Chains A and B, each alone.
Chain A
Amino acid sequence: MESALTARFGLMTPTGFPVGVFVWEGPVERAVERPSLLGPEGPVEEGERGVPAHFQDLHLDELEAALFAPHGGMGLEAFFRRPLQDEKAVVHRQRVAQDLEAEPLAQAFRTFFRGMENMRKGLELAEGARHPWQKRLYFLLAAEAYLEALEGLWKGLLGHPPRSPGVQAYRAYLEAYRNSPNFLRLRADQEKTRSVLDGLRYVLHVHEGRLALRAYQGEPDYGRQVAETFRPFFGESPPSWQGRDLPPGPWLNHVEEWILDHLALLFPEAFGRLEAFFQDHQGFADPALLRLEKEARFFLAYLDFIAPLREAGLPFAYPEVAHEPPFLAQEAFDLVLAAKLLFQGRLPVTNGFLFDEARILVVTGPNQGGKTTFARMVGQVYYLFALGLPVPGSRARLLLPDQILTHFEARENPEELRSKLEEDLRRLKTLLDGATDCSLLILNEPFASAALLDARLIGRFVLERIRARGSLGVVVTFLDELARLPGTRSLVAEVDPEDPARRTFRILERPADGKAYALALAEKYGLTYARLKERLGGGP
């Protein structure tokens, strides 16, 4: 059974078993517990995952693309799309993230990534090389990149000892691996082969369409002899030359191939070693370390993304796992929006949220006031927490949700036979049917397609159902009477008291007062009844 790993690297175990979906148990792994950065129980299962339903609503699809653009092709999306159900795993990951926040350790890993990329490049070139000897040379290069990557990582881990069980487990693994006979043999063979190849020296004779090749016999350097003859004339600093040679492509031309072939005949011992290396060390990359690269990239992709936000002064926190309310976050913000704003040289307004006995937040207020962003932010914070990552905010204490269910306004599909309202209701029903008391529901203007009277009715109904389920909910709506239902907490998007046309993007706990701002706005523009009468010159 071909897996992505086999196809990419051509890796086979010594027994000829392809590396597949089953977790690989090499001899070293049995000796040490199977390490993983993603959870204390060991590695998660591989394989692609579809995009979760709420990704688009919460802008997590944008976040995913931005996070993993620098790590293309590594399949990190699979990790991003699988939130945790086990709080021990959440803590495990949080501690790993904290370790990787330390710059020296992060740097060590980045160097490790680069080395592994070089290894993959070398293996690709080996795969694509037409000429057998060049194939073997690229293979050797790939192995060298791998050894160098591991060396760098090992030094980094020694120099900055990790504190999280996740990284510590890998360090222990790496230590055992470095002492394993397989690895020692790989390294010794590489060193010897490289040294023998580097020491080769041969003589080329070019004359009129003929090229002669033989071994070097210690002849002197003629260029130096020429320089010596004229040395008495040389002054303090003779002129130097800046040669500009274009780097050649990866493949050899036919003359170079001929040279390689005949070098193998001239130096059978050296090339014999190269051949032996190629044969003996197929599949040299240890799967656990390949897995480490993937997992570490997952964390660093996120930490690198939030680094400039941190530097700009925005807070990030590791939420405390809670089972009982209150569930809260302070000074949080929409991560995707914040990145966009920072690019424009601005910062987002931060907001907090709190769930206690009232498990439903009803958010009302003027349009464009930041309500939808707020709702998204709650969803993002919970989701990132469920991935074990630090979340936007200065402090957080959260329930690990079993699901996050969203209902944002969908575009009307004119093909649909049913009306939009019916569509929306059906969606709501699906949501509510699946919700538990550990679920988080985020509804953004779910009743917008209904007439006012209907909306009131439906709204009350839906909220009561949510309350009955005991789920956590964030409901953005224009119906401010919903904010007065039991089990809800009222939040309002603030406007500037001086200028009601200006939003502050702060969502504050306040009674819903849907109409007040509209009147103030009308006053400002001279459109209240009294003012209009004045302007139009009294009345009949």
Chain B
Amino acid sequence: MRVGLLFPDRDLDLAHPFPFGWEDVEPDLGLGDVYRAMAGEDGYLLEVVRKVLAQGLTSQAATVLHRQEAVREALERPDLVEALYTLAGETLAAKRRESYGLFRRDRPDLYGAIKAMEALLKGLRALLALLQRTPLTSPPFQALEARLEAVLTPAFFRQAEAHLEALRFPKGVWMAAGLSREGRSQGYTLLPPEERRAWWPFGKRPRTYVLTLHPRDEAGARILGEIREKGILEAAKALATAVEEVARFFESLRAEAGFLLGAARLAGRLKALGLPLAFPTPAEGLRLAFRGLYDVGLALRQGMAVGNDLEAHGRNPIFITGANRGRKTTFLRSPGLAQLFLQAGLFVGAERFESGLVDGLFTHFKREEDRALEAGKFEEELRRLDGLVAHLTSKPLFLFNESFAATSELEGSELGAQVVRVLVEAGVRVVFVTHFYTLAAAFLGDERTLFLKAERLPDGRRTYRLRPEPPEPTAYAQDLLRQVFGEEAG
């Protein structure tokens, strides 16, 4: 039984490991604020959100579009996903309570399995009722409802409950067996409980022999107990397996509904700030275009954000140069987060966003800490880069933020240029923020390279927008000096 809200063909697998370098991507892109908005204090939800975003990097267009449908529904009906998430969590908690120790012994505990299944059936009933009384509009939700309706018929519940009743064996256990070579019984199969008058229409009752134990025959009682255990073993196994499988369904439901809940919360926060949301268009190849794209994390932190427009189809690499305080990091985070959200089937913070799908996301940001390690900083940068290159996927997005700044402009630019060239030739999408003029200038002759610059008005003010402009040899330290030191700086 599939939940199928996030994927068209399977369920979310939380056991899938994070891609290489993910632990750096999160702080580099400022995902902490996004996570807080989506998951709040819920540690489980945080894990789910992280996993879904990370796994999104390998999504196909079909998955993206499918999930966007589910996210749309979640945005329209946040209380539905909240209710689903809560229901799944409560059902699982009840199951755990009843079936504690279910798997601990070497044979399954039948009674615990019965109670656990009762809790799960209750959850299934509630789930179906919840879906049926909500007017669902998206295919993923509708398909889930249909799947459940097909299975969770009144007949199913009748049968399931009848089994749970029978498996308590109020009238004892009937089992079939054969004879082993040494004269023991073996090959036990559990039989349905015998009805008293079952024989009447079919002639006389078959010949039966009865052994009644002496009341003080403890050994005999023990032996009968063992026979009974062997007989119910197969049924106990079957029920225990069923319990685990239904529980697995609820685990997936909890995770997937949880993610959608996070998405709804995030959308809620952004809408409350009056910021636009758009469902992006997944494309193939080197396509990139957006209008009003802003840094979602910054928006959550500051309560406001500036949007940017761009059309950059077929352009690679992209260099961002400009003033020192031009919020260059934000210029990297905006498309980075947007790409991540696109791949995860979410909305993005923009009026419009289109981008080719990638299969990985890598960041190489300058580390501010460890000033004491000045001497080894460059080496550390290189080592980090080496690690990333070793784990490169076939068509990733690679974001560089002031890389090689630890060394001189000449050397850093030379190295940087080589690295970028090789990556671009290998099909990697590169966005490079740098204050090294020489590095950017090395690509001036290349048609496919796009140069962006942080806008600076004639009077020196920053607009925090990007403009497509070639790099300039100076970084407007003048402006900064004037700003800090006032008229002294001249």
Is B221 close to A, CB under 8 A?
Answer: yes
Is A499 close to B, CB under 8 A?
Answer: no
Is B273 close to A, CB under 8 A?
Answer: no
A266-B209 contact given A222-B190, A243-B106, CB 8 Å threshold: yes
* Given A133-B183, A233-B151: 15 more A-B contacts, CB < 8 Å: A137-B181, A205-B172, A205-B175, A206-B231, A216-B176, A224-B238, A229-B163, A230-B238, A230-B239, A233-B245, A234-B245, A235-B245, A238-B244, A250-B182, A266-B207
Asked if A226 and B163 make an inter-chain contact with CB atoms under 8 angstroms apart, the answer reads: yes
17 contacts between A and B (CB under 8 A): A202-B176, A205-B174, A209-B215, A210-B212, A213-B209, A219-B192, A220-B192, A221-B234, A222-B190, A234-B241, A238-B244, A244-B106, A253-B223, A254-B219, A254-B220, A254-B223, A255-B227
Assembled-state Cα–Cα distance A133/B182 (Å) = 10
Chain B positions within 8 Å of A225 at CB level: 163, 192
Is B211 close to A, CB under 8 A?
Answer: yes
Which of B183, B194, B228 is A252 in contact with, Cβ under 8 Å? B183
Is B185 close to A, CB under 8 A?
Answer: yes
Chain B positions within 8 Å of A197 at CB level: 179
Asked if A239 and B238 make an inter-chain contact with CB atoms under 8 angstroms apart, the answer reads: no
Asked if A223 and B238 make an inter-chain contact with CB atoms under 8 angstroms apart, the answer reads: yes
C-beta contact mask, B147-189 vs A, less than 8 Å → 1, else 0? 0000100001001100100110001111111110111110001
Assembled-state Cα–Cα distance A235/B184 (Å) = 36
C-beta contact mask, A242-286 vs B, less than 8 Å → 1, else 0? 111000101011111011101101100000000000000000000
Which of A134, A212, A221 is B208 in contact with, Cβ under 8 Å? A212
Which of B172, B190, B194 is A223 in contact with, Cβ under 8 Å? B190
Asked if A210 and B189 make an inter-chain contact with CB atoms under 8 angstroms apart, the answer reads: no
Is B283 close to A, CB under 8 A?
Answer: no
Is A211 close to B, CB under 8 A?
Answer: yes
Is A198 close to B, CB under 8 A?
Answer: yes
Asked if A200 and B183 make an inter-chain contact with CB atoms under 8 angstroms apart, the answer reads: no
Asked if A214 and B206 make an inter-chain contact with CB atoms under 8 angstroms apart, the answer reads: yes
Classify the secondary structure of A's interface with B. Answer: mixed
Distance between B487 CB and nearest chain A CB, rounded to angstroms: 73
Distance between B143 CB and nearest chain A CB, rounded to angstroms: 15
Chain B positions within 8 Å of A202 at CB level: 176-178
Which of B174, B220, B238, B244 is A204 in contact with, Cβ under 8 Å? B174
Chain B positions within 8 Å of A263 at CB level: 179
Is A203 close to B, CB under 8 A?
Answer: yes
Distance between A427 CB and nearest chain B CB, rounded to angstroms: 58
C-beta contact mask, A428-460 vs B, less than 8 Å → 1, else 0? 000000000000000000000000000000000
Is B424 close to A, CB under 8 A?
Answer: no
Is A30 close to B, CB under 8 A?
Answer: no
Distance between A229 CB and nearest chain B CB, rounded to angstroms: 5
Distance between B473 CB and nearest chain A CB, rounded to angstroms: 61
Which of A141, A213, A227 is B241 in contact with, Cβ under 8 Å? A227
Distance between B430 CB and nearest chain A CB, rounded to angstroms: 40
Which of A224, A235, A241, A259 is B108 in contact with, Cβ under 8 Å? A241
Chain B positions within 8 Å of A266 at CB level: 207, 209
Distance between A79 CB and nearest chain B CB, rounded to angstroms: 35
Asked if A255 and B220 make an inter-chain contact with CB atoms under 8 angstroms apart, the answer reads: yes
A207-B175 contact given A214-B208, A253-B223, CB 8 Å threshold: no
Asked if A229 and B156 make an inter-chain contact with CB atoms under 8 angstroms apart, the answer reads: yes
Assembled-state Cα–Cα distance A210/B228 (Å) = 11
Chain A positions within 8 Å of B209 at CB level: 212-214, 262, 265-266
Asked if B185 and A204 make an inter-chain contact with CB atoms under 8 angstroms apart, the answer reads: yes
Which of B177, B194, B233, B241 is A201 in contact with, Cβ under 8 Å? B177
Which of A203, A223, A235 is B248 in contact with, Cβ under 8 Å? A235
Is B130 close to A, CB under 8 A?
Answer: no
User: In the complex, which residue of chain B has the Cβ closest to the Cβ of A260?
Assistant: B183
Instruction: List which B119-145 residues lie within 8 A (CB) of chain A.
Output: none
Chain B positions within 8 Å of A327 at CB level: none
C-beta contact mask, B396-413 vs A, less than 8 Å → 1, else 0? 000000000000000000
User: In the complex, which residue of chain B has the Cβ closest to the Cβ of A129?
Assistant: B183
Is A232 close to B, CB under 8 A?
Answer: yes
Distance between A214 CB and nearest chain B CB, rounded to angstroms: 4
Chain B positions within 8 Å of A255 at CB level: 211, 220, 223-224, 227
Assembled-state Cα–Cα distance A329/B191 (Å) = 76
Asked if A232 and B1 make an inter-chain contact with CB atoms under 8 angstroms apart, the answer reads: yes
Instruction: List which B447-466 residues lie within 8 A (CB) of chain A.
Output: none
Chain B positions within 8 Å of A211 at CB level: 210-211, 213, 224, 227
Is B278 close to A, CB under 8 A?
Answer: no
Is A413 close to B, CB under 8 A?
Answer: no
Chain A positions within 8 Å of B213 at CB level: 209-211
Is A208 close to B, CB under 8 A?
Answer: yes
Asked if A226 and B107 make an inter-chain contact with CB atoms under 8 angstroms apart, the answer reads: no
Chain A positions within 8 Å of B185 at CB level: 204, 256, 259
Is B298 close to A, CB under 8 A?
Answer: no
Assembled-state Cα–Cα distance A226/B224 (Å) = 24
Asked if B237 and A223 make an inter-chain contact with CB atoms under 8 angstroms apart, the answer reads: yes
Asked if A238 and B245 make an inter-chain contact with CB atoms under 8 angstroms apart, the answer reads: yes
User: In the complex, which residue of chain B has the Cβ closest to the Cβ of A252?
Assistant: B183
Is B235 close to A, CB under 8 A?
Answer: yes
Distance between A518 CB and nearest chain B CB, rounded to angstroms: 73
Asked if A213 and B106 make an inter-chain contact with CB atoms under 8 angstroms apart, the answer reads: no
Which of B178, B235, B244, B248 is A222 in contact with, Cβ under 8 Å? B235
Chain A positions within 8 Å of B173 at CB level: 205-207
Assembled-state Cα–Cα distance A243/B171 (Å) = 27
Is A215 close to B, CB under 8 A?
Answer: yes
Asked if B191 and A220 make an inter-chain contact with CB atoms under 8 angstroms apart, the answer reads: yes
Assembled-state Cα–Cα distance A248/B181 (Å) = 13
User: In the complex, which residue of chain A has the Cβ closest to the Cβ of B238?
Assistant: A227
User: In the complex, which residue of chain A has the Cβ closest to the Cβ of B212?
Assistant: A210
Asked if B235 and A223 make an inter-chain contact with CB atoms under 8 angstroms apart, the answer reads: yes
C-beta contact mask, A140-183 vs B, less than 8 Å → 1, else 0? 11000000000000000000000000000000000000000000
Assembled-state Cα–Cα distance A258/B160 (Å) = 37
Is A344 close to B, CB under 8 A?
Answer: no
Assembled-state Cα–Cα distance A204/B229 (Å) = 12
Asked if B183 and A222 make an inter-chain contact with CB atoms under 8 angstroms apart, the answer reads: no
A256-B183 contact given A201-B177, A214-B209, A223-B237, CB 8 Å threshold: yes
Distance between B209 CB and nearest chain A CB, rounded to angstroms: 4
Asked if B231 and A204 make an inter-chain contact with CB atoms under 8 angstroms apart, the answer reads: yes
Distance between A265 CB and nearest chain B CB, rounded to angstroms: 7
Chain B positions within 8 Å of A15 at CB level: none
Is B415 close to A, CB under 8 A?
Answer: no
Which of B178, B235, B248 is A198 in contact with, Cβ under 8 Å? B178
Chain A positions within 8 Å of B220 at CB level: 209, 254-255
Assembled-state Cα–Cα distance A131/B182 (Å) = 11
Is B249 close to A, CB under 8 A?
Answer: yes
Assembled-state Cα–Cα distance A211/B212 (Å) = 6
Distance between B425 CB and nearest chain A CB, rounded to angstroms: 41
Distance between A257 CB and nearest chain B CB, rounded to angstroms: 8
Is A217 close to B, CB under 8 A?
Answer: yes
Chain B positions within 8 Å of A221 at CB level: 189-191, 234
Chain A positions within 8 Å of B206 at CB level: 214-215, 217
C-beta contact mask, B191-227 vs A, less than 8 Å → 1, else 0? 1101000000000001111111101000111011001
Assembled-state Cα–Cα distance A262/B209 (Å) = 7
Most chain B beta-carbon neighbours within 10 Å: one of A197, A205, A234: A205
Assembled-state Cα–Cα distance A235/B250 (Å) = 13
Give the top 8 A-B pairs by smallest Cβ distance, nearest first.
A207-B172, A230-B242, A223-B234, A227-B238, A223-B235, A214-B208, A262-B209, A232-B151
Assembled-state Cα–Cα distance A492/B47 (Å) = 87
Is B246 close to A, CB under 8 A?
Answer: yes
Distance between A431 CB and nearest chain B CB, rounded to angstroms: 58
Chain A positions within 8 Å of B178 at CB level: 198, 200-202
Asked if B241 and A203 make an inter-chain contact with CB atoms under 8 angstroms apart, the answer reads: no
Is A385 close to B, CB under 8 A?
Answer: no
Asked if A203 and B174 make an inter-chain contact with CB atoms under 8 angstroms apart, the answer reads: yes
Distance between A102 CB and nearest chain B CB, rounded to angstroms: 34
Distance between A213 CB and nearest chain B CB, rounded to angstroms: 5
Is A374 close to B, CB under 8 A?
Answer: no
